[in-house]
Amino acid sequence: MSTWPRPRHWGIDASGTLVVEDTATGVAAGIAAGATVYGYSNGGPTSTVPELLLAAGATQVFTSMDKLPALASKQ
């Protein structure tokens, strides 16, 4: 985990923030910051499989960036 101060260290409330991450480590960092995290897995050879993103705490996983605007508008 990063040693950088979390957003609340600076008085920032990350609870209204949506983070999009494609790694389990990134998902965990977003969760630790207090944000809602969506996982992105495009199925490519270096893509993290959806199950790992969900296991790391992603609220949901999507497979195409074209879907992000609709997902984010529901956030």
Q: What is the pLDDT along the chain (75 residues), one digit of tens a residue?
A: 455 555 666 677 778 889 999 999 999 999 988 899 999 999 999 999 999 999 999 999 999 999 999 999 987
The radius of gyration of the chain's CA atoms, rounded to the nearest angstrom, is 13
Residue 74: per-residue pLDDT: 82
Residue 47: per-residue pLDDT: 95
Tokens (6 digits) for 69:
């605007």
* Residue 62, strand partner residues: 40
Is residue 29 classed as helix, strand or coil in its secondary structure? Answer: helix
Q: Are 32 and 6 in contact (CB under 8 A)?
A: yes
Q: Are 22 and 39 in contact (CB under 8 A)?
A: yes
Tokens (6 digits) for 6:
């979390």
